[in-house]
């Protein structure tokens, strides 16, 4: 099977959106004790770029959560690992993920984080598939609303591939001539 990756959002478009989002977060969290918690593995590129653009002191931590494994293009059971999370008690937490698809990941993680007694929890995502939401939660911050297409690149993967792409693309299957 051969594939082609069609560019959906270019590297300059992503960089501009992150700059705008970081300015908004910087203003909203000015004079607050901000802790950014990224959700591995898909958000790692977004978290790295976002934290460099946020113009105020902040701490960073990562947790692991996964519902897409291997070649799956729809979510399975959500696995959450909070073992390595730094202390968030009394802090304003910004939970950062790559994509808000059904919303199940953020909806499942937020109550678990609330048990750790942060001052507040807000969420930020790079992408929001508004048509796929299945929970009564929406992201507080987002860069792009996108259609219901399976995207890769900029940290998002298909079978653990394509995370390295500096843009967001859609996988298109090419016709097999045989």
CB atoms within 10 A of CB 72: 12
Instruction: Supply the DSSP string of 32-78, one letter for each residue.
Output: S-EEEEEEETTTHHHHHHHHHH--S-EEEEEEEEES--TT-SS----
End-to-end CA distance of the chain: 11
Q: Bridge partners of 158?
A: 161
Residue 34 tokens, joined:
């901000």
Q: Which of the residues are catalytic?
A: 101
């Amino acid at each position: 099977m051969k594939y082609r990756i069609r560019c959906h959002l270019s590297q300059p478009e992503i960089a501009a959106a992150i700059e705008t989002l970081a300015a908004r977060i910087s203003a909203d969290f000015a004079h607050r004790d901000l802790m950014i918690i990224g959700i591995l593995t898909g958000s790692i590129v977004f978290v790295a770029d976002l934290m460099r653009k946020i113009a105020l002191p902040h701490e960073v931590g990562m947790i692991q959560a996964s519902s897409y494994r291997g070649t799956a293009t729809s979510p399975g059971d959500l696995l959450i690992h909070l073992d390595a999370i730094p202390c968030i008690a009394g802090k304003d937490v910004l939970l950062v993920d790559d994509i808000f698809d059904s919303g199940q990941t953020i909806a499942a993680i937020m109550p678990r984080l609330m048990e750790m007694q942060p001052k507040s929890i807000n969420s930020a995502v790079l992408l929001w598939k508004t048509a796929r939401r299945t929970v009564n939660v929406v992201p507080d911050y987002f860069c792009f609303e996108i259609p219901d297409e399976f995207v890769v690149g900029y940290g998002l993967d298909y079978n653990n591939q394509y995370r390295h792409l500096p843009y967001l693309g859609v996988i298109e299957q090419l016709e097999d001539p045989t």
